[in-house]
Chains A and B, each alone.
Chain A
Amino acid sequence: MGDNIALTEAVYYILLSSFEPMHGYGIMQNVEKLSAGRVRLAAGTLYGAINTMLEKHWIEALPIEKNSRKKEYSITDEGRNIVDQELKRLRELLHNGEIIIGGTKK
């Protein structure tokens, strides 16, 4: 599952956010904080991404607590695998970029 796929920024940051159970609004705020305000998830974009990731079982919806109406999401083992693969891919991108560009600088 998930061979050679490049995650979108939104998906990558949503996965990172869901290492701790979080509801939609919390994810949006967390992603903005992680990226120092650079990545802002529009509500519809976030909703689409969450639903696709639920279907793929990368995240799961936690049972709704009594005093809360908001659904919380948490990463699954499958999701953790995807993040690991993505980190590997990102390292490769970074590595190659630095070799070529860093080489000329040195």
Chain B
Amino acid sequence: MRRTMYKWFWAWDFEKEEKWLNEKSAQGLQLIDVGFCRYTFEEDQQGKYQYRLEILNNHPSTAKNIAYIRFLEEMGVEHVGTLFKWIYLRRKASEGSFDIYNDLDSRIDHLKRMSNLFFWILLINLFALCLNVANSIQFGNTSSIVCVYVSAAMVFLLAFGILTVSTKKGTLQKERLLRE
């Protein structure tokens, strides 16, 4: 039987999202499809799969990424779904603990891809904020002031996201000085 759930995760909390999906798997709910805030599960054996999320450089439908996903499939990894640049992956738990990367360099690169994306979105929002401030000075009506608050909130939120990812990245980079 299928079950659909709606839940919100911040993109920088992808580890929390993975944990949640793995908890669902332990309860016998296996993710089979994703959408925006939407998760579709199928009832199956408890703990059958382990789930991981990965952000790619481009959209997963580019030739390079199709080749990558095909390689993962050869390695026993299933591609469950796609959301923007994110792919949702799973592998049978019977094959051992599942990681996409187990070297520090690749994990650091993965976090870099994430912070780069947030950075560009932040720039766009910063630009929007400037326009909104100019607007509200010129017109001073409620809706233009609301726009200022919304875009300012977006800028702060993204800055927080970049900070979170950068902290994680910094920890790994320090460790990289000592080991692979």
Report yes or no: A47 in contact with B102, Cβ–Cβ below 8 A: no
Known contacts A8-B180, A9-B180, A40-B96: does B74 contact A45 (CB below 8 Å)? Answer: no
Chain B nearest CB: distance from A24 CB in Å? 6
Given A9-B180, A44-B54, CB of A24 within 8 Å of CB of B102? no
A46 and B76 alpha carbons, distance in the complex (Å): 13
Query: What is the CA–CA distance of A10 and B180 in the complex, to the nearest angstrom?
Result: 10
Q: Is A44 touching B72 in the complex (CB atoms < 8 A)?
A: yes
A46 touches B75 (CB 8 A): yes
Main secondary structure of the interface of A (DSSP, over half): helix
Are A44 and B76 interface neighbours, CB within 8 A? Answer: no
Q: Chain A residues near B100 (CB, 8 Å)?
A: 42-45
Tell me, rounded to whole Å, the shortest Cβ–Cβ distance linking A46 to chain B. Answer: 7
- Asked whether, in the complex, the Cβ of A43 is within 8 Å of the Cβ of B72, the reply is yes
Interface size on B, residues (CB 8 A): 18
Q: Is A28 an interface position by the 8 A CB rule?
A: yes
Q: How far is the CA of A34 from the CA of B129 in the complex (A)?
A: 57
B165 within 8 A of A: no
Name the residue in B54, B75, B96, B99 with the highest tally of chain A Cβ atoms < 10 Å from its Cβ: B75
Known contacts A8-B180, A9-B180: A43-B103 contact under CB 8 Å: no
Cβ-defined contact, B74 with A24, below 8 A? yes
Q: Is B101 an interface residue (CB 8 A)?
A: yes
Question: Taking CB as reference atom, which chain A residue is nearest B75?
Answer: A43
Chain A, interface size: which category?
Answer: 10 to 19
How far apart are A89's CB and chain B's nearest CB, in angstroms? 15
Q: In the bound complex, what is the Cα–Cα distance between A92 and B115 (angstroms)?
A: 40
Judge if B120 is at the interface, Cβ distance under 8 Å: no
B96 to chain A, nearest CB (A): 7
Contact A40 B75 (CB under 8 A): no
**At the interface, yes or no: A57 with Cβ under 8 Å from chain B?**
no
* Across-interface contacts of B72 in A (CB, < 8 A): 43-44, 47
For residue B20, CB closer than 8 A to chain A, the reply is no
Chosen A-B contacts, 14 in total, with CB atoms closer than 8 Å, are A8-B105, A10-B103, A25-B75, A42-B99, A42-B101, A42-B102, A42-B103, A43-B100, A44-B54, A44-B72, A44-B100, A45-B103, A47-B72, A48-B101
13 additional A-B pairs beyond A23-B74, A41-B102, beta carbons within 8 Å, are A9-B180, A24-B74, A24-B75, A25-B74, A40-B96, A43-B71, A43-B75, A43-B76, A44-B100, A45-B106, A47-B71, A48-B101, A48-B109
Chain B interface residues toward A at CB < 8 A? 54, 68, 71-72, 74-77, 96, 99-103, 105-106, 109, 180
5 closest Cβ pairs, A-B complex: A44-B100, A43-B75, A42-B102, A42-B99, A44-B101
